[in-house]
Structure 1
């Protein structure tokens, strides 16, 4: 007999407008212990089934973007089930099999460095199950302050790209404003990034409690939190911090800052050894004096996000930051302002001198900014990176101000990595309660700049003053690392140390496979051209903090992932997977799974699957996110995971946010959209125009599979050139039958390829539930290296929808003949 949503026990659900929303997540308990620079954190999520039938709960939540997650287990009554780390595909298969057999199972997956999914299957009616997650992290330290951050909610991500229509196999797709749960060719996992958001004015039953124990070995002072009410309990040199009783809604990052009463914090080294070798963490803050008059004239370019998610307090905070930036410039500096949402605008086509008239012009421009539309960050990034420098002698500093609420982070990072000029620095500022720290931190790393994240309600004067003081005075550049000692040299991350700004630490994680002691010499060029050197003697006792090894493993994974921002490669994915398995770490290619030994529910009965609804981040506008969408609560509170089978009741979803108003798409708008994605000027339709990458503009507009873009079929008539057309040949395919191979060949050969490139491309992917997944480029076997062609083929394959539902591993070799 089929159960209905009305048959509920007394549990966590809420009546709203004659509909019900279920809240299976009851409580989150966070316990953190901080020793020196390292935190060890335990997160307990308590799920409860409010229905009279079996429940599967799916929860999308954040953790710090550099957290080394190394443990997961579940508690059922007085029983503990330990999770184990597996390759992600294997873990998902174990979880699904256990769910079908009636066993209780937990699955922890990583979608982004700071977005995670917890699935918990076969919770009995009225039952509570606890999921425990543990991780290590390295505290931020800057300007004398330690900072501990615990994120509590994933802000809604804008999803660009062409929708992949899973329910229309063989049909077409369209360019349209993306809702939160639509996969696209640019973000093929978009449906796994956004949890359903509660309507305005509705409160979740989920609450959170945080306890932080700080043991610095010396007196701690100036403890404060700009985000939460806190209680402070001191016991000698031990300090316990708890959330205030009235501040338990999980809708903002917890930020805790403190200082230690000592001047001896300029250098810290931590070591550890086990069968994997000797590991170390090194924290160095060079103590340099600098004079305010040692200032180099700068060209400052401010890139500000004015999309809908910035509506209200976040945009006002960014505007205030911008006003302070403009008024804080040095007399010889030049500046410009660019803002982006659906489109990109700029204050001036050329840098403006820092005169009173130009400052007034800039302030008026800033004051007129309004938030609205989608976060098309790629257009803004391309515009600012392509700006011509009028004075090559000036150091260009780009300052990005955004909440980072996008799903195509890697596309942005790939653009920065490829196009950032050697003499340019890219800094990032996030203003808000729950910004995308992963994106902001990585942009600054790749941009050789500084990342700053402040709340929407924090004073900006000191932040801006400190920022200018730092970028005016880079204190250590061209940092080199040299090992002196027996055996192998250590493997260190970051592999290329960044330049340091004033009061900024150098943080290194290393692994010496043979664990032999030795000296590490750090050298660099200080301000004024002076040579700097500092040496560390390192040995590796068996005792030590085990978190050091985990943090090295996490740093290696981060470095490997940074190398794959343009797309997954076979070698890169294998290296990440091997590291994650060796160090028992969660990654995008590994997952934790825990399964009960016994059959706990009847596998032949229906079950309800609910995705946990979440609060909208504090100070974020519902109107800005949801645009014209009307709100109405739906029972169950969430979408159903794409992995789940048909034999279940799915709880209808809450409304999905629309990030830009729906409107008819005109032909020029379509061309402009594609031109922006492929970096082609849409305003120059002459046949034969070529950009820096060798594309003709029309070829590039036709470089998307016809079936995915039916609105462009008649554009072929515009092509008047009689030149040769590149040919694509499917050399070999394994894992598909001949009929599907023929369909795939026909699909790929319909793609209009750019001229001038040839060679082989070898891909490996999973075909599952009618979709291409886990698409890898075999970079060793591929002879064609052109990034734009590879990206075109990736997106084309991700948009392919075979007419049969198959599950297979496919090896595909393509040959492009120019």
Structure 2
């Protein structure tokens, strides 16, 4: 039987006389986790196999926990293991590409988001299996006496807002399916790296996953349970061994494991470690605080609910049930309102409503009528809720966001929260689903000085709502202050500004003392607006301590630094993250692991085929919600493998310029005729609605001057200058902007602002210029490092 190998929509196919079948280079994932106290050490082994007669490159987009400190990567070929080394990301990419061209087997592990990773494996010989081993440490979540271990298994499709960058498309087309909208945009320049091909409804990947978790808590472990998976539990003295049951090995949902430890709740746990980098510690503090009902303060609660296509079906129904319970659980003196968003934003009322029976009935009816469809234009919803009118300044404004978080522009949302959430307000996040974007939900809650709650689409809602109200109704431990007593400099602690504490939620701090000399850490705060709280922790550093403590401090520092540059990458910020990641051997957005075989293993002249590994649709997500009516009937045939352009991923677009690819409109109504400038600079999510004063009458204005450019020849400088001077800007401020970026394969990559050399500070204008720069298209053959100085005059 002859076989024909061909590349199609996101997969590699074998053509036989009987049928066409996809081949999956990823065969199996094995996860082994060891939990000691508050810390887990996890090893993930991905087994790739090439079943063909052609050399193969496999590319796999997959999730890991957003707080994971990834510090090791190896590739195993037969009985030989090659250890990966951490490099600056661009350097690692160059090493990988060179090795691929030379015919060496190479592995490249990159981080796209805190919870999205790409594994590339080049030159897999026909018929051979290669294992990629990834190791990370993570601090366990601990709330109200319950430990929680989470291992994400699949990435649901991310919505990519913005104007597509011309000539770039990350999606792969087929004879029966149009080009998917998985591509880079001015808002998400790496959008094509965030979405893997999704298997059609009714098909199944042979890729399976096994998980083994060993819990060694030092005391008896009890009430081990998983709301997500069927598990097998065995006990040996004080250790517990947990495995997935044989019938639950499809990687299409997050594994959630919860358990308790015997005895009374520990009030403070300190773990420490010392090495040549200094002394590191992790502090878990659980204040024993008592609350009384008369301490409850009146709140103004605004609910913001995601009604985009990915929420269709079970996720929306779960959010509606949560909302009904939220409304009925409000205190008598509270006020409330509801806002929902998808392509557009709607609201229950223009002002907060009193909590009476008439308004509750009105709210419940509004909730019951919600339907899910369209794109996830979260920036609109966030802007609306942050600007929602305040009618009683004496109330504590609490914003409750309900979403799966399936977007690619996380930093844009985080920047909105960081810049515009009013002091004293709180933002809480709820995720409903099997594989929600925990990175976004957790970070929003942190920046919003609130808490994040994740609930599966099939979990009971009553307990989670009761717990939520116990937390937000009770006063917090606020104004937390840390004082060091002892020799040497004070430790460097993250988070740098400790958050307020909610009931049943511990304070987790990671610290470093470069001289590793012990001392005392005094923690003070205010309870219920008056009562003083005080605790003292003795700190000593042990060279025999858990090595993961240092890695977790490094990961916490990177997280803190990344929070500082959510509005846009800056030179000092990128350098600080890179330096920390290299010092602690950690994966980050600016570092990557690369492993290369010593020997040339394939004939590079014969070429190879590159395949992106398709993934399962996350459990509970509606195919129709993602892909629209195209899959409402029979499942797509195996030959197409990629359904028609997902409605969930479609954006309201216009053709950017003559010759640009035609872009699908999510609305059947044709757009009005636009001028060339409107076409070029109208953002798809209409994110400039609140900044329209900067666009004026959409005519270019002559107040942007290109002062200097290095790294380009005169001809390219002229083209760049003409391009930049056509940007329609208006500003009431003057100053200089200095940007640095890389040019590679016809793309501008990683536009970094030199904040020390720049004097212009108006963020909205900086964002417009940055987006315009990433959209500029130099020649494909050009490779350069560019420095640009602009002068803006009011």
Tell me the TM-score normalized by structure 1.
0.90
Q: Are positions 1:777 and 2:786 aligned together?
A: no
Match of 2:109 in 1: 108
Shift of the 378–770 alpha-carbon distance from structure 1 to 2, 3 Å rule, reads: same
Match of 1:384 in 2: 385
The structural deviation recorded for 1:318 is 0.1
Match of 2:322 in 1: 321
Match of 1:399 in 2: 400
Match of 2:292 in 1: 291
Question: Could you give the per-residue CA deviations for residues 142-161 of structure 1, whole angstroms, max 9, x where no partner exists?
Answer: 00000000000011000100
The answer as to whether partners of 1:763 and 1:775 remain within 8 angstroms in 2 is yes
Greater displacement, 667-676 / 353-362 = 667-676
The answer as to whether partners of 1:59 and 1:117 remain within 8 angstroms in 2 is yes
Match of 1:666 among 671, 694, 713: 671
Greater displacement, 464-473 / 12-21 = 12-21
1:167 and 1:258 mapped to 2: Cα distance?
47
Q: How does 1:739-778 map to 2 (within 5 A)?
A: 739-778=715-754
The answer as to whether partners of 1:230 and 1:241 remain within 8 angstroms in 2 is yes
Secondary structure of 1:696's aligned partner: helix
The structural deviation recorded for 1:178 is 10
Match of 2:711 among 717, 735, 738: 735
The answer as to whether partners of 1:20 and 1:633 remain within 8 angstroms in 2 is no
Q: How does 1:213-252 map to 2 (within 5 A)?
A: 213-252=214-253
Shift of the 341–578 alpha-carbon distance from structure 1 to 2, 3 Å rule, reads: same
Q: How does 1:386-465 map to 2 (within 5 A)?
A: 386-465=387-466
Q: How does 1:80-479 map to 2 (within 5 A)?
A: 80-166=81-167, 179-479=180-480
The structural deviation recorded for 1:632 is 4.2
Question: Could you give the per-residue CA deviations for residues 443-462 of structure 1, whole angstroms, max 9, x where no partner exists?
Answer: 00000001000100000001
Shift of the 72–655 alpha-carbon distance from structure 1 to 2, 3 Å rule, reads: farther
Match of 1:799 in 2: 775
1:6 and 1:554 mapped to 2: Cα distance?
42
The answer as to whether partners of 2:145 and 2:265 remain within 8 angstroms in 1 is no
1:167 and 1:427 mapped to 2: Cα distance?
36
2:682 and 2:168 mapped to 1: Cα distance?
25
The answer as to whether partners of 1:55 and 1:610 remain within 8 angstroms in 2 is yes
The answer as to whether partners of 1:160 and 1:178 remain within 8 angstroms in 2 is no
Q: How does 1:621-770 map to 2 (within 5 A)?
A: 621-629=622-630, 632=636, 657-659=646-648, 660=650, 661=666, 663-667=668-672, 674=683, 677-680=686-689, 696=693, 698-699=695-696, 702=698, 716=699, 725-770=701-746
The answer as to whether partners of 2:63 and 2:116 remain within 8 angstroms in 1 is yes
1:668 and 1:304 mapped to 2: Cα distance?
33
Q: How does 1:556-595 map to 2 (within 5 A)?
A: 556-595=557-596
The structural deviation recorded for 1:805 is 2.9
The answer as to whether partners of 1:473 and 1:502 remain within 8 angstroms in 2 is yes
2:455 and 2:544 mapped to 1: Cα distance?
38
Shift of the 546–462 alpha-carbon distance from structure 1 to 2, 3 Å rule, reads: same
The structural deviation recorded for 1:627 is 1.6
Secondary structure of 1:578's aligned partner: helix
The structural deviation recorded for 1:527 is 1.4
Shift of the 734–629 alpha-carbon distance from structure 1 to 2, 3 Å rule, reads: farther
Secondary structure of 1:627's aligned partner: helix
Secondary structure of 2:295's aligned partner: coil
Secondary structure of 2:147's aligned partner: strand
1:24 and 1:675 mapped to 2: Cα distance?
36
Question: Could you give the per-residue CA deviations for residues 202-255 of structure 1, whole angstroms, max 9, x where no partner exists?
Answer: 001100000000000100111000000000000010100000110000000000
The answer as to whether partners of 1:474 and 1:499 remain within 8 angstroms in 2 is no
2:143 and 2:491 mapped to 1: Cα distance?
26
The answer as to whether partners of 1:629 and 1:658 remain within 8 angstroms in 2 is no
1:528 and 1:510 mapped to 2: Cα distance?
28
Question: Could you give the per-residue CA deviations for residues 525-562 of structure 1, whole angstroms, max 9, x where no partner exists?
Answer: 01141111101110112110000000000000000000
The structural deviation recorded for 1:663 is 3.4
Shift of the 206–554 alpha-carbon distance from structure 1 to 2, 3 Å rule, reads: same
Secondary structure of 1:667's aligned partner: coil
The structural deviation recorded for 1:655 is 5.5
Q: How does 1:486-505 map to 2 (within 5 A)?
A: 486-505=487-506
2:640 and 2:219 mapped to 1: Cα distance?
50
The structural deviation recorded for 1:50 is 1.6
The answer as to whether partners of 1:334 and 1:354 remain within 8 angstroms in 2 is yes
Q: Are positions 1:596 and 2:597 aligned together?
A: yes
Greater displacement, 576-585 / 755-764 = 755-764
2:6 and 2:301 mapped to 1: Cα distance?
59
1:519 and 1:794 mapped to 2: Cα distance?
46
Match of 1:70 in 2: 71
The structural deviation recorded for 1:755 is 2.6
1:275 and 1:532 mapped to 2: Cα distance?
35
- Gapped regions of structure 1 (runs ≥ 5): 169-176, 638-652, 682-690, 703-715, 720-724
The structural deviation recorded for 1:440 is 0.1
Question: Could you give the per-residue CA deviations for residues 702-730 of structure 1, whole angstroms, max 9, x where no partner exists?
Answer: 3xxxxxxxxxxxxx4xx9xxxxx451111
- Gapped regions of structure 2 (runs ≥ 5): 170-177, 651-665
The structural deviation recorded for 1:19 is 3.1
The answer as to whether partners of 1:68 and 1:550 remain within 8 angstroms in 2 is yes
Secondary structure of 1:396's aligned partner: strand
Secondary structure of 2:767's aligned partner: helix
Tell me the TM-score normalized by structure 2.
0.92
Question: Could you give the per-residue CA deviations for residues 317-367 of structure 1, whole angstroms, max 9, x where no partner exists?
Answer: 000000000000111110000000000000000100011010000000000
Shift of the 674–124 alpha-carbon distance from structure 1 to 2, 3 Å rule, reads: closer
The answer as to whether partners of 2:162 and 2:683 remain within 8 angstroms in 1 is no
Match of 2:661 in 1: none
Secondary structure of 1:501's aligned partner: coil
The structural deviation recorded for 1:293 is 2.8
1:456 and 1:14 mapped to 2: Cα distance?
37
The answer as to whether partners of 2:162 and 2:684 remain within 8 angstroms in 1 is no
Shift of the 219–408 alpha-carbon distance from structure 1 to 2, 3 Å rule, reads: same
Shift of the 745–12 alpha-carbon distance from structure 1 to 2, 3 Å rule, reads: closer
The structural deviation recorded for 1:757 is 1.8
The answer as to whether partners of 1:196 and 1:655 remain within 8 angstroms in 2 is no
1:180 and 1:130 mapped to 2: Cα distance?
32
The answer as to whether partners of 2:309 and 2:625 remain within 8 angstroms in 1 is yes
1:68 and 1:543 mapped to 2: Cα distance?
20
2:50 and 2:639 mapped to 1: Cα distance?
14
Question: Could you give the per-residue CA deviations for residues 127-168 of structure 1, whole angstroms, max 9, x where no partner exists?
Answer: 100000000000000000000000000110001000101269
1:219 and 1:164 mapped to 2: Cα distance?
56
Secondary structure of 2:620's aligned partner: coil
The structural deviation recorded for 1:277 is 0.3
1:7 and 1:167 mapped to 2: Cα distance?
19
Match of 1:711 in 2: none
What do you get for the CA RMSD once the two structures are aligned? Answer: 2.3
The answer as to whether partners of 2:5 and 2:14 remain within 8 angstroms in 1 is no
The structural deviation recorded for 1:633 is 5.4
Match of 2:606 in 1: 605
The answer as to whether partners of 2:695 and 2:728 remain within 8 angstroms in 1 is no
2:180 and 2:32 mapped to 1: Cα distance?
35
1:759 and 1:777 mapped to 2: Cα distance?
14
Paired residues, number: 759
